[in-house]
Amino acid sequence: MAIERTFIAVKPDGVKRGLIGEVLKRFEMRGYKIIGLKMLQVTPEQAAAHYAEHVGKPFYDGLVKFITAAPVVAIALEGEDVVAQARRIMGATDPNKAEIGTIRADFGQAMNRNIVHGSDSVESANRELAIYFKSEELMSGAKNSFDYVIESLL
């Protein structure tokens, strides 16, 4: 499988509830590398670019209002099949339908308060990463703690 990148966001509800570390832990435990990480206040322009495919839908205004209301944590991950696997780790969008053990099942409170966002395809990941990160902010090939342990054993 090819090495991919994906975009994950800990949404305002996850930040407010202190779940940033738990979300990061889930991806790191799976072996994915965090190649970009920052807390930011999403601007209306970023929100519009992020949710462009939902313009005109009845829930669009609510999405923009929610994501711009409070800080989010933007995460860039890298690894084999990371787009699909990150979505499995997060679980179904509706926490009530997500499998037990996923982020959304364990911590989500409602469909519109489900803690995290994750890119749904490689194309979406590339587009979303560009909205939140400059290319020089991504540390491609960054090592995670597992890599340092393995190197120390060799």
DSSP-assigned states of every residue in 18-39:
T-HHHHHHHHHHTT-EEEEEEE
- Among candidate residues 137, 119, 128, 131, the one with its CA nearest the CA of residue 36: 137
Q: Which of 35, 75, 117, 129 is catalytic?
A: 117
- Among candidate residues 20, 54, 22, 60, the one with its CA nearest the CA of residue 40: 20
- Note if 117 is an active site residue: yes
3-state SS class at 9:
strand
**Residue found by looking up tokens 């995290």 in the block:** 116
Catalytically active residues are 117
